[in-house]
Amino acid sequence: MREDHGVHVGDRALTRKEGIVKNLLVQLCAGIVLSVGLLTVSGCGGSGQTIYLDVIPKPKPGPLVGAEPIKIVIQPFEDRRAEKSRVGMRTHLWGGVTYFDVAGEKPGEVYAQALEEQLKARGWQNRAWDVRVGSVGAVTDADIVISGQIFEFTANAKSRLFSTYLTTSNKLTITAQNNVDRSSTSRSLEGSQTDTVVWFGDGDVQQLLMATIKDTIQRYLSDTTISQRALRPSRP
């Protein structure tokens, strides 16, 4: 009889221990879920504010060689987008949006400055060029005048549970006028990029949009060349 009683007491003690362990595990899991939920909710409600993005790439300088004695002026690109008040938005998981726009709110100037930075550092023939951004009508002594038209320029983010999906796109035409022979050449370019991040920050969409601009400029430089003091297509 005593042995049976001892066995029953041991079983009850073991059962109590199992119950305590289960309760601790439940509390631990609930704490983890609550913490993740708070972090998710804190980043998933939009207030309608506008975030301004600095998206002008800063390329590394190329070889230290003398600049070609050709003067190039880039005019701010014409903004022909249907929606000019912003470049995009972030749709939050629990409702609301955050809007995106470029610093200065003028994408046409952003593209002109980005192209200027690239040509000054590492342009055609992998060298620096004498280039500046100038307003319309202020060009008097340039050998080549570059202008452009922007038809699409977007950056959007859609928050989902535990991730945010990013998309950027652009579509534009760049035209060069050559004073040496009054000729011109135009190139139409478009592209898009996507990314998915777990923890979203404004820098994520900024970097992706900057990469989209950089890729467009690099393709423009690949499609064109400088020959006989004029900008020409690199291929017929």
E strands, the chain, where?
50-53, 68-74, 78-79, 88-91, 97-102, 129-133, 144-160, 163-178, 184-197, 224-227, 230-233
Residue with more model confidence, 123 or 76 = 76
Mean per-residue pLDDT over the chain, rounded: 84
Residues 139-192: pLDDT tens digits?
678 999 999 999 999 999 999 999 999 999 999 999 999 999 999 999 999 999
pTM of the model as a whole: 0.79
Q: Answer whether 51's CB lies under 8 Å from 99's CB.
A: yes
The answer to whether 205 and 157 are in contact (CB under 8 A) is: yes
Q: What is the pLDDT of residue 173?
A: 98
Q: Provide the percentage of residues in the chain whose pLDDT is more than 90.
A: 63
* Domain range 47-233, its CATH number among 3.40.50.300, 3.40.630.10, 3.40.50.1370, 3.40.50.10610: 3.40.50.10610
Name 145's bridge partners: 73, 177
- Measured N-to-C along each axis, helices 202-223 and 107-122 cross at an angle, to the nearest 10 degrees, of 60
What is the tens place of the pLDDT at every residue in 48-91?
899 999 999 988 776 656 666 899 999 999 999 999 999 999 99
Q: What is the pLDDT of residue 30?
A: 43
Q: Please tell me the number of Cα atoms within 13 Å of 74 on its side-chain side.
A: 23
pLDDT at 12: 56
Q: Which residues make beta-bridge pairs with 144?
A: 72, 178
Q: How confident is the model at residue 31 (pLDDT cuts 50, 70, 90)?
A: very low
Pairing assessment for the beta strands 97-102 and 50-53 based on DSSP bridges? parallel
